[in-house]
Structure 1
Amino acid sequence: MPRLNVIVASTRPGRVGRRIGDWFTAAAVRHAGFDEVRLIDLAEVGLPFHDEPHHPAEGIYLREHTRSWSATTAAADAFVLVMPEYNYGFSAPLKNAIDYLYHEWRHKPVGFVSYGMTSGGLRAVQMVKQVVTTLNMVPVNEAVTIFLQQALDDAGELLPDPGRDEAADLMLDQIARLAAALAPLRAVAA
C-alpha cells in the first residue's frame, strides 16, 4: 500500500490549517488505504527561503534541512496539500517547499484540502495545479473544499460535517488508485 504525506501549507500564527490537517490525517488513517500516513507541518519543518546553490533537478543538497526535506518527500508515494487561499493564491511557504525539490515529487498523485472564506480556497488550488503538473505530479479530480464561515464553531474548531468526510474518502480512494497506477513510473525514475 502507498505512503501518504499530508502537508499543512500555512505557517501563519493563529492559523486554522493545523486543525484541518489533523482532521484530514485522522480521516486518512481511518480510510485504511495507505500503509503510512504522515502529517507534515511546514511551520514545524521550518524551511528557510530557498537557499541551495544548485538547481533542485541536480539533486545536490548542501543544507541539512534540504536533505531532511528531500528524504521526507521521497519516502511518500502520494501527497495531500492542506492549503489556505491568500489573496486568490497559495501560500509562499508552500511554493518554497515545493521549489526546494524536483525528482522527489515526480509521478506521485496529489490531492487538495483547501480552505478559505468566499471561495473555500478553490482559486489557490487552480494556481498550484500549474506548479505540481510541471513537476510531473498528478492532481486528482476529487477534493475537499472548506468554507470557513460555515465550518468553524465559535471557538474556531471544525464542526462535524458528513459531506466533508465523504469528500475526503472519495479523494483518498482516487489518490490510492493513482499511487498504485503510477508506481511503475516511480520505479523506473528511481
Structure 2
Amino acid sequence: MTTIGIILGTTRPGRVGPQIAEWVEKTARAREDADFELVDIADFHLPLFDEPRSPRMGDYEHDHTRAWAAKIDALDGFVFVTPEYNRSIPAALKNAIDFVYNEWNNKAAGFVGYGSNVSGSRAVDHLRHIAAGVQLAAVHTQVNLSLRTDFEQFTTFAPAAGHEVMLQQMLTEVVTLTKALAPQRQAAA
C-alpha cells in the first residue's frame, strides 16, 4: 500500500499546526487509496544541519540523521503542513528537508499552508521551490488556511467548509502522482 507522510513543519512552542495536521490526517484516513501517517519533525530533535558530508552521499554519521532518513525513505509521498513565518517556511522545516536528499527523490508533495496575512501562500511558494531542489514533484492544488478566518481567536482550528473540498482534491493528486512515480523510485533503488 502507498504510504503518504503528513509532515508537520513547525517545532514552535504553542504552535497551532498540530490541529491542522490532525485535520489533514483525519480526512486522509477516511480514504482507501493510500495509508497516511502523521510525522512531526519536532519528534526527531534535529539540530542545525551537522553532517560532515553532503546528504547526496547518503553516508550519515549521526543517529538523529539516520532515524530521520529511515522515516522519510519509508514514505512514498508527502503532504507538508507549514505555517508562514516572515514570508517563508520555518527554519526547522528547511533544516529537516536539508538533512537528507535521496530519501525525498521521485516522490509527490502536496501543501497545506497557514498564516495571518495571505494564508500561508508565500510559505507554500517557497516550499515548492525547495521541494523541487530535492526532486519532489509538487501537485497543483494546495490548501491555504487563515489564522484570522479559520481559527477562533487565532487558537482553535475551525476550517471553513470549502477547505475540505480542496484538501480532498490535493490528496487525490498526491496519491495519484505518488503511484505514477513508483517505477522511478524502484529503478533508483
Q: TM-score range by the shorter chain?
A: over 0.9
Q: Which residue of 2 aligns with 1:113?
A: 112
- In structure 1, the partner of 2:2 is 2
Cα drift, residue 161 of structure 1: 2.8
Instruction: Find runs of 4+ consecutive structure 1 residues off by over 3 angstroms.
Output: none
Counterpart of 1:18, as a letter, is P
Deviation at 1:154, TM superposition (A): 3.6
Contact 1:31 1:172 in 2 (8 A): no
Query: Greater strand share, 1 or 2?
Result: 2
Cα offsets for 1:31-80 (capped at 9, x unmatched): 2221x211111122211111111110100011111111001000011001
Structure 1 CA distance for aligned equivalents of residues 58 and 127 of structure 2:
23
How many pairs are equivalent? 189
Which residue is 2:130 aligned to?
Answer: 131
In the alignment, structure 1 residue 87 sits paired with structure 2 residue 86? yes
Percent of aligned pairs with the same amino acid: 38
Task: Give the aligned residue type for 2:67.
Answer: S
Structure 2 equivalent of residue 148 of structure 1:
147
* Cα distance between partner residues in 2 of 1:124 and 1:160: 19
Q: Report the residue type matching 2:13 in the other structure.
A: P
What is the distance in 2 between the residues matched to 1:113 and 1:69?
21
Q: 1:154 & 1:123 partners in 2: Cα distance?
A: 23
Partner of residue 158, structure 1: 157
Q: Greater helix percent: which structure? A: 1
Q: Measure the CA separation in 1 of the matches of 2:126 and 2:44.
A: 23
Specify the SS of the correspondent of 2:53: coil
For 1:80, the aligned partner's letter is V
CA distance in 2, matches of 1:98, 1:142: 21
Q: Over aligned residue pairs, what C-alpha RMSD do you find?
A: 1.1
SS, match of residue 140 in structure 2: coil
Unaligned regions of 5+ residues in structure 1, if any? none
Aligned residue type for 1:27 = T
Q: 2:80 touches 2:109 (CA, 8 Å); kept in 1?
A: yes
Q: Which residue of 2 aligns with 1:27?
A: 27
- Post-superposition CA distance 1:88-110 (Å, at most 9, x none): 11110011000000100000000
Distance 1:138 1:155 in 2: 32
User: 1:33 touches 1:172 (CA, 8 Å); kept in 2?
Assistant: no
Matched residue, 1:51: 50
Aligned equivalent of 2:36 = 37
Displacement of 1:155: 7.7
Secondary structure (helix, strand or coil) at the match of 1:141 reads strand
Instruction: Determine the structure 2 residue equivalent to 1:12.
Output: 12
Separation of aligned partners in 1, 2:31 and 2:48: 35
Tell me by how many angstroms 1:128 deviates: 1.5
Distance 1:176 1:120 in 2: 24
TM-score by length of 1: 0.96
